[in-house]
Structure formats: C-alpha cells, structure tokens
Structure 1
Amino acid sequence: MVTDNRFQVRRVLLVTLALNILVMAIKATIGLLTGSLSLLADALHSITDSANNILGLVANHFATPKPDREHPYGHQKFDAIGALGVAAFLGIACFEILKGAIDRLLTGTQEISITASHLWLLLVVLGVNIFVAFYERSVGQKIGSSILIADAKHTMGDVWVTMIVIGGLVGIWSARNVDLPQLQWLDVLLAFPVALLVFQSGWDVVRENLPWLVDEIAIAPEAIYEEVMQVRGVRNCHAIASRGIVGRQVFIEMHLIVNANDVETAHQITEAVEDRLEQRYAPVRTIIHVEPPEYMSQYISYDADPGHK
C-alpha cells in the first residue's frame, strides 16, 4: 500500500522556501552592492530554488498516491512533472548566466568592491544552503519523495556554485593587497563553471524522472521471473512487464500457469505471488492473468513472443 506523505513534503518545502528566499535576498543585495556578476548569477540560481519550492508545493498538492475514477493508477506522476519543472528552471538560469558572462567579456569587466564583511555573510549563506540540501535529501529519501530529492540535488549544486563564487571573490578581495587588478576577471571567468554546474543539476533531474513518465521498465523481467518461480504451485511465468520506480511505486503484469484444478487454489497461488513481489519491491500493484497449461511459454519478456495470449 502506498503511503500519502504529502504533508511531510509540504512542511519541508515551506521551510526551505523561507530559507531560500533569505539566501537569494542576501546574494542579490551583495551582488548589486559589489557589482559581482558571478554573485548575481548565483543569486539567479537561488531564485530558481525558491521557484522550485513553489512548483514543488503545487505538484505535491496533486501528487496523491491514492487512485480515483479519473486516475486509477494514482497521481504520482505529478511529482515527476514537478521535478522536470525544476530542470526547466535550471535551464533558464544556465542561459541567463552564460548571457551575462558573454556580455561582460564583450563590454569589459568592472571593478568589484568586495569587503571582508561581505565574505563572512556569504559564508553564513553557504551554511544555510548546506543545511537545506541535507535536510531535503534526508527527508526525501526517508519518505520516497522525488520532488524533495530533486530539489536537494539542485540545492547541492547551489552549494558548489556558492563555494566557487566565494573562492573567486576572496581572490578579488586579496588582489588589493598584492596589486593584481587582473584578478578582477575572476568574477567573469567563474560565471562559466557556474553555468555548467547549473546545467548538470538540471540534467540529473531529467535523467532520474523521465523513466517514470515514459513508463520505462522498472525491474528486469528475469528478476521477477526468479522471484515468482520460487512460489510453490507456480509452473510457468511469462509475458512479464513492469513500470514505475522501485521504492516509489511499481506496477507489474504477467501471465501465470499454476498447479491447480480449481479457482480457489489458483487464487491462493496468485496471492502468494503478489505477497512475494510486495515484500521484494514494495510498494507494488500486480496484475496476474492465469492461463491453462497449454499456454506455457519460454518467452519471459512481455510481447517477446508475438503469439502470446
């Protein structure tokens, strides 16, 4: 049975939304005061953090695992759609960062006026980012929420971005002491790896959630076959199909031949198969089509045999 964890997800998203707005405001303020392109780009990245939280709250509202008449397989794909929305925001952020960096290269850099107080405040921001990332990932893994795990990955990318930006700003701040004005270009140059990290975060989110949306195979049919054939009374298992994501929700279909001469015994065997698959891959919804012995087949995968019934 799938557990409805939307309340926990909503609570985490509200907490992280408040923290992300605070982080974004601090980065944007310091970026405007100092004229740092890389820090303004990082603030843009943080804006997407807040937007992702809002998107996650909306998606989470619709992502109930309980089926109804209109959605007999539940609503959990809304969760994956929300995660892909996160990736879309990341793509926009990547484009804006690259555009700003190229414009600065073409028009010339400007002096960055960073102070020690600014740097200490950015270190506090970094600590908040780290807390948010680990908090979301911990809860997301515990309750199996793709939107929280996806957002944690995004926030972890923000941590690395902020570390790179702070490192560059420390170099620019130190340039005054060593009389190296060329270090001002660090701000522009660091905007490019920031964009690459943002793009990588978005790609990871797409790669992890697309299989759910396109009904990619969830479990190798050979693995399901091995589990089912260990159930007493099963003679043959074929035409196996599965979709979903293990640990979140899996749907399995199969054709089964059993050692039974009456419906009641056949039903007991199919229930034993369902229980075994539930213990191994929970949560699972299994559909079993019982067939007579003459329909026995060596083709494990669904539709591998064009003549299967």
Structure 2
Amino acid sequence: MQSNNRTKASQKVTIVGALIDFLLSIIKIILGFIGQSGALIADGVHSFSDLLTDWVTWYAAKLSGDAPDADHPYGHERFETVATLGLSIFLAIVGTIIIFEGFGRFSNPNELRHENWLIAAAALSVLSKEALYWYTVKVARDINSDLLKANAWHHRTDAFSSIVVVIGIIGAANGYFFLDSVAAIIVGILIIYIGWQLGFEATKELVDTSIDQEDIKALRVALSEIKGVNSVHTLRTRKVGHKKSADVHVQVNPFLSVSEGHIISVSVERVAKKCIEELDDVTVHIDPENDEEKEEAPYKDLPERAQALKIISQSLKLENVNYNIEKTQLHYLEGEILVDFFLSADYLKNQELNNIKSELSAALEKLPDFGEVKVYFS
C-alpha cells in the first residue's frame, strides 16, 4: 500500500476510535456519579485517557507517512515503532492501576443505585470497544501497522475493564463484592502482559533485530541463483517500522566491468524485494572476493589508484621502460595489485609480445605490493 493511502487509513480508524472514546467517557462518568459507582467513574476516566493514546497514534501515523528528508534520510517509519513502545508502557501502567484498584475494592465496597443503568453503560462500553478492536485490527493487518495493532489491543483491554465493571456491579448488587476485585486483578495482569508483548517487539526493532530466519534462508537461496553471483557472504536484515531493509554483499567475477557489476546489483535488489514482502530498502555491495574469510583486511596497506599509478610510473622510468601506455587497469586481489597494461598494436610490428611483457613485468616485480602483469594491444 502506498505511504499516502496507508497514512489516511491509519488516521481514519484512529479518529473513529477517538470519537467513540469521548462519548463513552462522558456517558460512564455521568452515570457513575448518578449510580455512585466508583468502578464506572474510573472506567470513564480510563476512556478519557484513551484519547491521549488515540492522539499519539494519529500523530505517529502522520509522521511515519512523511517522505524522507535531510534530518531523516531513511524515512520516518520508526516514529511508529517509538509510539508502539510508548503505548506498551501506557498499557503496563493502566494494568498496574487496575490491579491496585482491585485490591482497594476488597475493603471499600459501595452500595450502588440504578444498577440496570450502570450495567447498560458498561455493556455498551464492552460492545463498542470490542467492535473498535476488530475494526482497528483489520486496518492494522491491511496496512501492516504494529502501532495500530497496539491501539487495537488497547481497545480490547478497555472492553475487558468494562467487563470487570459489569461483574463488579452485578456482584455488588448481590452482595459478592470480592468478584469485582478478583476480576479486576486478573484483567490488570492480562493488560500488563499485552503491554509487555508489544513493548518487547518494538524494542527488538529499535535494536535492529533481524527478520525471521526462514525468510533470510529463502533470500540467500534466491540471491545465490542469480546469474553472475558467485556467492552471498554477508546478509544483514532489520525492520524499520512496517518496512524491512537488507544489506547484502555478493561475490562476482573480479574481472567484470563496473557497469556489469552494477547490473548484477540491480538484479540482486529486484530479486530480494520479490522474495520478501515489505522489503523496501536493499543495499548491495559487489565484492571481487570473499574478504571476510581473511583475518585482516587484505587491502589495508595497499596504495590507492593515484598513488599506485605514480609508483608504477616511477618504476618504469627507473628501469628505462619507455612504452606509450594508453591505459592501465588495476585489480586488487589476494592482497596485491594485478596490473593490466594496454598498448597500441603498432608495438607488435617491431617487437615480440613476450619481450614487451618481460620488460614491463621486470620493472614491477621488485615492488612489494604488485603481482602479475598482463599486456593487451589495441
């Protein structure tokens, strides 16, 4: 789903939830005061607190849908992850409060009035919040949003807390005040558990935990089958909001042209995105050899091209080798520099190929960082 449509869907379901939370909170608080039900008043205040989480969800959805910018070149998807973590903490706090309230009700029973109205208000809350849960979780699955999933579970916990209120009211009406407290404690523990699950997943994402291992194995196989890829020796993945990203190092023939290596990297990116759903960003590194198998970086002390060409020029001058070299190509392999010289075919009229190669090789063989020399004529 496109980022713009994803943001609109997320904001729409959040606004609907906020409106219902506002209406429920008004109804429960007013009827709670009339019926002298502290549980229903607390549930109404709980619904008011939901407006805060609805706003956080709406704002995070708006930010995560923004395009990359100078300050966030990789996009804003992790705003959604941070908001999910915040919601998980909020759920844990709400669960703890419900548990303490449950213990408090053991010693503070209330004689209720208008029990039928109180039960009706709590039942309306249960039905409304459960409907919101299913609506929100459907949208969350459609757009693959962990933040909306967290908010959906928040709606469901509200339904659970309203069930506690119904049980408490019925129990109080029949003299069994302890039922309210026991149910509240059980629901509080469940809410904390849900908050922990959501927070654990969000934390895993924030510390760049890799995606599912089965997906990684399938990706390795798919990339290894690409023509021109000799091996896949590094593959790192992570989640970024609802998206996934990968860094992959592939080994190719070391004597390919730069443009051919680039075409292979394009194929790697295309196949990777086709293999894993929601894989949005793929960084491909083309390697001429598997340098990760070596204990130390094989090119650590080798001179770069400009310096290497200067060394070659000085060596040829010292050895009195005066060919007009049209192009010099360097290959950094096995911890040394292999050199290809390109000369005009006119040299072949006066000298043998072996003589030319011998002179050029002799000029470079004393250099510690240089290896095999090849000569080509055009």
8 Å Cα contact 2:167-2:180 kept in structure 1: no
8 Å Cα contact 2:291-2:297 kept in structure 1: no
1:1-58 CA-to-partner distances (Å, cap 9, x unmatched) read 9623222212221111000111222233333333434434433432332211011122
Amino acid at match of 2:232: C
Matched, 1:57 2:51: no
Percent identity reads: 24
Larger Rg: 2
* Worse-matched range after superposition: 96-105 or 62-71: 96-105
CA distance in 2, matches of 1:156, 1:229: 45
In the other structure, the counterpart of 1:39 is 40
Quote the offset at 1:265 in angstroms.
1.9
CA distance in 2, matches of 1:24, 1:152: 18
8 Å Cα contact 2:219-2:275 kept in structure 1: no
8 Å Cα contact 2:122-2:165 kept in structure 1: no
CA distance in 1, matches of 2:105, 2:12: 40
In the other structure, the counterpart of 2:228 is 233
Q: Which runs of 5+ in 2 are unaligned?
A: 299-378
TM-score normalised over the length of structure 2: 0.70
In the other structure, the counterpart of 1:178 is none
CA distance in 1, matches of 2:71, 2:20: 37
In the other structure, the counterpart of 2:244 is 250
1:236-268 CA-to-partner distances (Å, cap 9, x unmatched) read 11121111169x211111211124622222222
Query: Match of 1:75, SS?
Result: coil
In the other structure, the counterpart of 2:23 is 22
- Once the two structures are superposed, the pairs formed by residues 1-309 of structure 1 within 5 Å of their partners are 3-4=3-4, 5-64=6-65, 66-106=67-107, 108-173=108-173, 175=174, 181=175, 183-220=176-213, 221-244=216-239, 248-259=242-253, 261-281=256-276, 282-293=278-289, 295=290, 307=296
- In the superposition, relative to structure 1, how do residues 105 and 204 fare at CA in structure 2: closer, same or farther (>3 Å)? same
In the other structure, the counterpart of 2:356 is none
8 Å Cα contact 1:21-1:47 kept in structure 2: yes
- Paired residues, number: 293
Quote the offset at 1:136 in angstroms.
1.0
* Worse-matched range after superposition: 221-230 or 145-154: 221-230
Amino acid at match of 1:125: S
CA distance in 1, matches of 2:297, 2:285: 12
Point out the structure with the larger strand share.
Answer: 2
Quote the offset at 1:274 in angstroms.
0.7
CA distance in 1, matches of 2:120, 2:197: 31
Query: Match of 1:121, SS?
Result: helix
8 Å Cα contact 2:110-2:172 kept in structure 1: no
CA distance in 2, matches of 1:308, 1:60: 44
- In the superposition, relative to structure 1, how do residues 14 and 88 fare at CA in structure 2: closer, same or farther (>3 Å)? same
Amino acid at match of 2:147: I
* Worse-matched range after superposition: 235-244 or 113-122: 113-122
Q: Which runs of 5+ in 1 are unaligned?
A: 176-180, 299-304
In the other structure, the counterpart of 2:341 is none
8 Å Cα contact 2:243-2:280 kept in structure 1: yes
Amino acid at match of 1:207: F
1:85-130 CA-to-partner distances (Å, cap 9, x unmatched) read 2123223323332333333435x32223352233233322222112
CA distance in 2, matches of 1:74, 1:308: 33
Amino acid at match of 1:283: L
8 Å Cα contact 1:164-1:190 kept in structure 2: yes
TM-score normalised over the length of structure 1: 0.84
Amino acid at match of 2:62: H
CA distance in 1, matches of 2:50, 2:195: 12
Query: Match of 1:234, SS?
Result: coil
RMSD across aligned C-alpha pairs, in angstroms?
2.6
CA distance in 2, matches of 1:188, 1:33: 22
CA distance in 1, matches of 2:243, 2:169: 45
